[in-house]
Structure 1
Amino acid sequence: MIILNVIFYIFIVVTFVQLFFYGYVFSNVKQKRQISDSSYKPPISVIVCAKNEAKNLSNFLPFILDQEYPNFELVLINDRSNDSTLRVMEAFKANHSNIKIVNVKNIEAFWGNKKYALTLGIKAATHNHFLFTDADCKPVSKQWISEMSSHFSREHQLVLGYGAYTKVKKSILNKLIRFETVMTAIQYFSYSKLGNPYMGIGRNMAYTKTLFFEARGFMDHMNIKSGDDDLFVNQIGDARNTTICLSKDSFTESLAKETYRDWIIQKRRHVSTATHYKTKHKAALSLFFTSQVLFFVLGLVLISTLFYWQIVLGLIVARYLALFINVTRASKKLNEKDLIPYVPLLEIFLIVTQFFIFIKNLISKPNRWK
């Protein structure tokens, strides 16, 4: 009985922590209408870094080149590819005068990561305003550059966007990947709105050359193979210089992993990068995940023993109500409405997967990098 009493009171605390996150922190995936200035169209350098991405470049570069924007260049970085990536880039350049190619050769491989290649591309870019995406991504509309760039201002030099994954019907894995993407977006958008940005995604992010060099580029984390997007935001982003873009025309879309194993490898890399975040961000993220795990474990114990079951059930209902309200709102804004009916099941799958990744990373470091 004493043990159940302790579990009960811990469960109450854990539930209120969850209500704090879902009821307050994660309620900030929103943006006022007319917040951006659609008439502000600075010259933009769109930067794409590619390594062995010949097929994806052939498929997706036309969507970038077809953007309805008055003044933009496309900087293509060939990061030591050993396929036909460079030839594909050169073929596009032959037909488009606004393409610039940066070819990173093998003799420069001692730097060992994408950040060095990106730095060369950034130095070669003509304009002060950059918009980044990956070689396997495409803008969902012809207004992508226009929407993302319209959020630049004298103060706002870092714009966080959303990178979706293509929907695949009748695929549980696809739904799980997209749900994880939505939950991650809910967190980084919400923290940014609260004045505490901690990450962004390279599939859709914009910042200025001025900000990049103020931060000394990637030098503070050049030795870490990943993190050209989230570690940069974690380092330099603050309440003054960072904003978000939630316009559906500003989204990008890419193909999700097709096997659970490939997705786990990708997520292990992302999780390992998060260990280099600022202490306050690691603490907040750890608190949320720990409270999630304890909510399910302790709730299951209390329900199975019928210990104060009316109160326990009430807390569970309150927590799920807060979750559904804010995840539903965010899913609609991010054009992921089809996930809403599956949220309870997907959340459990995701927690189990994240716990597995956490244990796996404790045992061995991920060593496969794109």
Structure 2
Amino acid sequence: MPKNFDKIAVNFNSRNVEQLLLQLPLYQIFILITLAATLFIQLFYYLFFYARVAVKRQPQHSRPDQEPVSIVICARNEEENLRKNLPLIMEQAYPEYEVVVVNDCSEDGTADILSNFQKQYNNLRVTTVKVDEKFTHGKKLALTIGIKAAQHEFLLLTDADCYPNSTSWLHLMQENFIPTCNVTIGYGAYKPKKGALDKLVRCDTFFIGLQYLSFALAGIPYMGVGRNLAYRKSTFFANRGFASHYQLPSGDDDLFVSEVANGKNTLVEYRPQTITHSEQVSNFNAWTWQKLRHSVTSSRYKKGIKTLIWMEPITRVLLFATAIFLIAFTPLIWVGTGALVLRFIIQAIIFKVAQNRLLEKNLFLYSLAYDFASPFLYAFLGLKKTFSPKWN
């Protein structure tokens, strides 16, 4: 604390800001400038990007014709999930659609479950990929086979462990396929559970969803989730499918969207009836593996997108650090406190409204805590990736 603290306090009380700044040490002025810059960037993210999900009304596109749709699902050892979720897919309130399920080398009772469902639903089609000991493959091959088998131009993708929030899911997703739309990005939530892992998974999902939905609403689509994603069959083949990243274990959703989507051919759908829910991972290690697998694809995003993604948490940490320093070690307590309070108020409003829209219930307070902790969590994941041979 500087020796002339009392004098600075007097100057502050007299609102002589210029005199106050002149008496501050140079390093404190630098910290003050850093605080102002990072606060400005943080407010830009919240007011220009994230607020779109909270305040922008979902446009409703009038389509006189309900054109046929193919729902494509890949399933590997998904007997129980198919038993629970497939009827919710098969009973959508839509006049003409098919469901193509790719039985991808399943070793459980998936084939029997699908066979029984085929007797019940005439619009269920099953394609089987058999095990080949000389050739291993990931989801992209199975998904490509399912898309080739699909009979219709409009494709709606989800996973076997997902279920839609309503029987209007297909109808409302299909509404977005106006002539200029090639890709529709939806939101995929996780089914709430008890425990700390649930809060971690759902907070992380909400943060990521808020980001990719708001970026797409701003005309900068860069990813979607395979749990709730729609595009044209012709778009898939015009892009040569997943050819540019076929060797990667993931990327069938985010890298594909990154390649084909732009501000003119992409729409965002997040009405409550269109949200899907998925089963969560069973433990922290499984979630960590999931995040590391995704990091392999996120490293291949376009440079501008990666800059936008990483600038937010970096400036968040700098804002916290500079504000806490000013509060703890300088007379500028009001500056540090004011910066944190201003960001908190704007963040809290946007988070609360966006979580209500995305059906993320009972997550508000946890998401505020996650906002502070997530940069350190991702730093941990980065270190784990660096020192793990599997991801290098």
Q: Normalised by the shorter chain, which TM-score bucket?
A: over 0.9
Give me the whole-angstrom Cα distance separating, in 2, the residues matched to 1:235 and 1:296: 35
Deviation at 1:261, TM superposition (A): 2.1
**Structure 1 position 343 matched with structure 2 position 367:** yes
What is the CA deviation profile of residues 91-136 of structure 1, one whole-angstrom value per residue up to 9, with x for unaligned ones? 2112222111111122287362211111111001000000010110
What is the CA deviation profile of residues 7-29 of structure 1, one whole-angstrom value per residue up to 9, with x for unaligned ones? 33222212211111112121111
Partner amino acid for 1:131?
A: L
Asked whether the 8 Å contact 1:67–1:144 carries over to 2, the reply is yes
Deviation at 1:32, TM superposition (A): 3.5
What is the CA deviation profile of residues 155-174 of structure 1, one whole-angstrom value per residue up to 9, with x for unaligned ones? 012111111111224x2321
Higher mean displacement: 131-140 or 352-361? 352-361
Deviation at 1:33, TM superposition (A): 5.3
Give me the whole-angstrom Cα distance separating, in 2, the residues matched to 1:145 and 1:88: 23
| Aligned counterparts, 1:228-307, within 5 A | 228-307=252-331
Percent identity between matched residues is: 34
Asked whether the 8 Å contact 1:31–1:246 carries over to 2, the reply is no
Higher mean displacement: 135-144 or 32-41? 32-41
Q: Secondary structure of the equivalent of 1:97?
A: coil
What is the CA deviation profile of residues 303-332 of structure 1, one whole-angstrom value per residue up to 9, with x for unaligned ones? 221452211111111111221122222112
Aligned residues: 367
Give me the whole-angstrom Cα distance separating, in 2, the residues matched to 1:155 and 1:244: 13
| Aligned counterparts, 1:1-370, within 5 A | 1-29=25-53, 30-32=55-57, 35-37=60-62, 39-107=64-132, 110=135, 112-169=137-194, 171-364=195-388
Deviation at 1:181, TM superposition (A): 1.2
Partner amino acid for 2:82?
A: L
Partner amino acid for 2:173?
A: M
Q: How has the CA–CA distance of structure 1 residues 11 and 34 changed in structure 2, closer, same or farther, with 3 Å as cutoff?
A: closer
List gaps (5 residues or longer) in structure 2.
Answer: 1-24
Q: Secondary structure of the equivalent of 1:6?
A: helix
Q: Secondary structure of the equivalent of 1:106?
A: coil
Asked whether the 8 Å contact 2:320–2:340 carries over to 1, the reply is no
Q: How has the CA–CA distance of structure 1 residues 109 and 90 changed in structure 2, closer, same or farther, with 3 Å as cutoff?
A: farther
Deviation at 1:276, TM superposition (A): 0.9
Deviation at 1:187, TM superposition (A): 0.9
Higher mean displacement: 5-14 or 213-222? 5-14
Q: Secondary structure of the equivalent of 2:362?
A: helix
Higher mean displacement: 345-354 or 95-104? 345-354
Deviation at 1:31, TM superposition (A): 4.5
User: If you compute each CA radius of gyration, which structure gives the higher value, 1 or 2?
Assistant: 2
TM-score normalized by structure 2?
0.88
Partner amino acid for 2:106?
A: S
Deviation at 1:301, TM superposition (A): 2.8
What is the CA deviation profile of residues 80-99 of structure 1, one whole-angstrom value per residue up to 9, with x for unaligned ones? 22222222222211222211
Q: Secondary structure of the equivalent of 2:99?
A: strand
Asked whether the 8 Å contact 2:327–2:334 carries over to 1, the reply is no
Partner amino acid for 1:156?
A: C
Give me the whole-angstrom Cα distance separating, in 2, the residues matched to 1:16 and 1:63: 45
Partner amino acid for 1:243?
A: L
The aligned residue for residue 4 of structure 2 is none
Structural RMSD (CA)? 2.0
Deviation at 1:349, TM superposition (A): 3.2
Partner amino acid for 2:171?
A: S
The aligned residue for residue 8 of structure 2 is none
Partner amino acid for 1:230?
A: D
Higher mean displacement: 79-88 or 104-113? 104-113
TM-score normalized by structure 1?
0.93
Q: Secondary structure of the equivalent of 1:28?
A: helix
Higher mean displacement: 106-115 or 136-145? 106-115
Give me the whole-angstrom Cα distance separating, in 2, the residues matched to 1:257 and 1:317: 35
List gaps (5 residues or longer) in structure 1.
Answer: none
